[in-house]
Structure 1
Amino acid sequence: MTKYDASDMQELIRKIQEHTATAEELRRFLQMTEQPALDDLLPYTEWQQSQEEALPSALKEKVMQAMPTNRLRPLKHYLRKSLPYAAAITLLLTLHRLLPRIGHRQSALLTAATKDGEIKRITLPDSTTVVLNARSAIRYASSPDTIREVFLEGEAYFDVKQNENKPFVVRSGALSTRVLGTAFNIRAYPGETQQLGVVSGKIQVSSPEGKSLVMVKGDQVTYDAAATFVSIAADPQQMSNWQKGIIDMNNLTLQQVTAILERWYSVKIMLLSPGIGQHVLSGTQTNTSLTATLESICFVYNLQYQQEGQVIKIREK
């Protein structure tokens, strides 16, 4: 039998909670739960000292359904004996999200991606239409089974083909968005605040912390690093203006706008004067000229820029 130690368990738990664990690492984590001396592998003393609470029956049922049959017995032992609810809820929700098919054959995943400055329209096998913004990618099954699942990194507009028997789920960073048939936009670039807007229909957004939010036509929210949903009073239609080559700068900081410009024009923008990245912009700009966009921004806030090849430096005058 393979030997494991506490550091192995600690590292795998960290990766699972940070959503960086590979499929093989998730399988290894499940194998650890089968070890007779499981308690020796749990390094967190606060887990051992905290008061245990029963898992909600609905959550436990979901986790059980997510696992192959031959894993149920050791996992039940693990849930009951080793993980106090307060400390483990995020981990269990994450496992449910990441392990729906471990031990089962999966359909091959196809990938569609865009480069800087590129917008691409894709039709999925179920006839759902996806428009990818610059520097974005999606992965999806060539033959979806019980659910239609898409993994998104970057920004995309979805016009989902309705199918009540096969819900459509988008995995974007830590969030899971579930729909039946609707049109919505998700912005989920690494290191940036996620943003979701519903153009028509209804979606349900869930986070690893157990938070769930139902959004209908006209709703728009952000999900930040503090795991908080914040409603935005804005028209979701404008959120997808990028499809028309329009940069919507309303209520965005200069730091946020420069990230958009970097993706659209394949440049690196450096903000050299302290605090200028927090300037809040407004209005829209047609994606026709990087020079015109920079000059417009600099004029409003009395800034200047210098371009050296693909590097642009912005500072106060």
Structure 2
Amino acid sequence: MTKHDATDLQALIRKIQEHTATAEELRRFLHMTEQPAMDELLPYGEWQQTDGEALPPGLKEKVIQAAPQRRMRLLKSYLRKTLPYAAAVMLLLALHQLLPRIGQRTPALLTVTSKDGEIKRITLPDSTTVILNARSTIRYAATPDTLREVFLEGEAYFDVRANEHKPFVVRSGALSTRVLGTSFNVRAYPGETQQLGVVSGKIQVSSPEGKSVLLGKGDQVTYDAAASFVSIATDPQQMSNWQNGIIDMNNLTLQQVAAILERWYSVKVILLSPGIGQHVLSGTQTNSSLTATLESICFVYNLQYEQDGQIIKIREK
């Protein structure tokens, strides 16, 4: 067994305990428990402390009813040998709630994509409103299940229809955002720092490392390559200025703004002079004119640019 297998198993157990595991992740977890030499996947000595301790008969019967008997016998035996009693009970309770979905056909996902410079407004089957920023993609089921779940790549503003019996989950890159009813913005472009801001209500954001933060109205955080959450002391309403055709450059580097310009104007921005990508900008700019935006940026930092078709090169004067 590999280190990757151990990390995968640890992540699966955490998701199941937090009630965020998908049906496919539960299938993979149960498949792993049936493999030989499972003990090699568990490098946590403190787990080996309740060998043979029986589970409550009532709980045992409920869980057995929720899954095929043969598989649950193996799983119950594995849990007794590898998890502390309390953790085993938590895990089995979570499985009891989620396992009925196993075996059901995974619903086909609908995909909506916005092109460069395009903003799209979508109404999901549960009446939640989503506004997609440029060069973004969202995938969702045509019919909402017990867990309303969407997958986002790029940036979107969500106005979630409240339903306390069906939580709404946004999966963006490595993060999982769970809400009941609220409005918030998620920026999750590949290769860029993720950023989340809450306009109303509350959201809970979880990372694969087991970190979790609860955000309320006015809160805003980033999630960086170091797998840590960092609070931002700005108005999250500004984070969604893009809906009104405004580029918010406050506290963004030239490198970050260049990525925004590429998405909005379908161009490639090349920063030729070393270090200029780290210049920190401020203010806002209406994105109706690429030329006006470039001239404004270059004026502030004594830069110059040249454009050849869809290629823009920026350098020091």
How many angstroms does 1:279 deviate by? 0.4
Pick the structure with greater CA Rg: 2
The question of whether the paired residues in 1 share the 8 Å contact of 2:47 and 2:82 is answered with no
CA contact (8 A) 1:107 1:144 kept: no
Give 1:212's aligned residue: 212
- Identify the residue that residue 255 of structure 2 maps to in structure 1: 255
- Give, in angstroms, the shift of residue 226 of structure 1: 1.2
Instruction: Give the count of matched residue pairs.
Output: 281
Aligned-pair distance for 1:35?
Answer: 2.5
Q: 1:254 to 1:179 in 2, by over 3 A?
A: same
- Is the CA contact 1:155–1:188 (under 8 Å) kept in the aligned structure 2? yes
Post-superposition offset of 1:29: 6.8
What TM-score does the superposition give when structure 1 sets the normalisation length? Answer: 0.78
Of all paired residues, the percent bearing the same amino acid is 77
Q: Identify the residue that residue 271 of structure 2 maps to in structure 1.
A: 271
State the one-letter code of the partner of 2:111: T
Question: Secondary structure at 2:260's aligned position in 1?
Answer: helix
1:53 to 43, 47, 69: 47
| Farther-moved stretch of structure 1 (205-214 vs 240-249) | 205-214
Amino acid at match of 1:279: H
Distance 1:306 1:80 in 2: 67
Q: CA deviation at 1:76?
A: 5.0
Aligned equivalents of 1:294 and 1:302: distance in 2? 12
Go from structure 1 to structure 2 and tell me whether the alpha carbon gap of 1:290 and 1:80 turns closer, same or farther (over 3 Å shift): farther
Q: Is 1:141 equivalent to 2:141 in the alignment?
A: yes
Q: State whether residues 167 and 179 of structure 1, in contact with CA within 8 Å, keep that contact through their aligned partners in structure 2.
A: yes
Structure 1's unaligned 5+ residue stretches are 1-5, 56-60, 85-91
Superposed displacement of residue 164, structure 1: 1.4
Q: What CA distance in whole angstroms lies between the structure 1 residues aligned with 2:225 and 2:161? A: 31
Question: Equivalents in 1 of 2:163, 2:25: separation in Å?
Answer: 33
Using a 3 Å threshold, how does the CA distance of structure 1 residues 254 and 165 change in structure 2: closer, same or farther? same
Which residue identity lines up with residue 45 of structure 2 in the other structure?
Answer: Q
Measured after TM superposition, the shift of residue 221 of structure 1 is: 0.8
Q: What's 1:314 paired with? A: 314
Q: How big is each residue's C-alpha offset from its partner over 1:130-166, in whole Å with a ceiling of 9 and x where there is no partner?
A: 0000111111111112121111111000011111111
| 1:69 corresponds to 2:63 | no
Q: SS where residue 233 of structure 1 aligns?
A: coil
Normalised by the length of structure 2, the TM-score is 0.78
Give the root-mean-square deviation of aligned CA atoms.
3.2
**Cα distance in 2 between the residues matched to 1:227 and 1:149:** 23
Q: Which amino acid aligns with 1:162?
A: A
Displacement after TM superposition at 1:79 (Å): 5.6
Deviation at 1:26?
Answer: 8.4
* Contact 1:157/1:183 (8 A) holds in 2: yes
Consecutive unaligned residues in structure 2, runs of 5 or more: 13-22, 50-58, 85-90
Q: Are the counterparts in 2 of residues 12 and 25 from structure 1 also a CA contact under 8 Å?
A: no
Q: CA 1:255–1:16 in 2, change beyond 3 Å: closer, same or farther?
A: farther
Determine the structure 1 residue equivalent to 2:88: none
